[in-house]
Amino acid sequence: MIKETWTESVRNRIVMYLINYRDHREQLEQRPYFLFEDLAVVFRVADLDDPLREQPVENADLERWNIQKEELYQYAVKNTPELFPAQVKTAEKAEEGNDREPVFIVSSRQGIYGASVLLYPGFLEDFSGRYPWNFFFMPLTLHEVFILLDRGQYMPDQLHEIAQTYTSEIISKKDRLSDNIYYYDSEEYQILTLY
């Protein structure tokens, strides 16, 4: 439980991040959350001196602060992009004569809790506006998301196999988010869970 009272200082530091719903079901009984596909949107009070310091918001905090989780979400949607701005990089530079597509890595500028960038208002729409293709996205870790443009070169089952290997053999359990593959339809502005 957070000891601070519901002051402007606390309100302005409420941020959101994603965790795996299935893996954290028990923990979520004590926390306010919303579902995003098969993931859970949870909240914390950001410590600006130590961004990795966990101060999770619990149901007891909402009762003490006399607020609903919807209000908490509104603060988080405003604060998170301001405190943890989105950053998009490419894993491989496409060289002249190289037909390999770039892999985009999305995170926060600080490199932590970057999967929450998917929740930033307009982020997916803006990305699809810059790259006019549908795309796959893989939120493998809490801290980053991989985006691959769909120009017909990827098979979803192969991407799922890669994601499963990556999450089981490379990513630490505490940083693991999902081995599911999601698809963003740029014309319909719709997210589909493929696996």
Query: Domain check: are 134 and 178 in the same one?
Result: yes
Q: What is the mean pLDDT of residues 152-177?
A: 94
Task: Let me know if residue 2 belongs to a domain.
Answer: no
Q: What is the pLDDT of residues 11-54, one digit of tens each?
A: 999 999 999 999 999 999 999 999 999 999 999 999 988 877 87
Task: Let me know if residue 39 belongs to a domain.
Answer: yes
Q: What is the pLDDT of residues 96-133, one digit of tens each?
A: 445 677 899 999 999 999 999 999 999 999 999 999 89
Closest CA to 138 of 118, 109, 113: 118
What is the domain range of residue 100? 86-193
Closest CA to 136 of 148, 145, 144: 148
Q: What is the pLDDT of residue 125?
A: 96
Task: Let me know if residue 164 belongs to a domain.
Answer: yes
Q: Which of 83, 113, 129 is the last residue of a domain?
A: 83
Query: Domain check: are 114 and 179 in the same one?
Result: yes
Alpha helices by DSSP H, the chain: 8-11, 25-28, 59-65, 69-83, 123-130, 156-169
The 190-193 sheet, strands edge to edge: 86-90, 104-108, 145-149, 135-138, 182-185, 190-193
CA–CA separation, 89 vs 106, rounded Å? 7
Do residues 91 and 101 make contact, with C-beta atoms less than 8 angstroms apart? no
SS3 sequence of 117-129? HHHCCCHHHHHHH
- First-to-final CA distance of the chain: 35
Q: Which of 25, 56, 83 is the last residue of a domain?
A: 83
CA–CA separation, 52 vs 99, rounded Å? 38
Q: What is the pLDDT of residue 195?
A: 84
Closest CA to 38 of 134, 163, 155, 158: 163
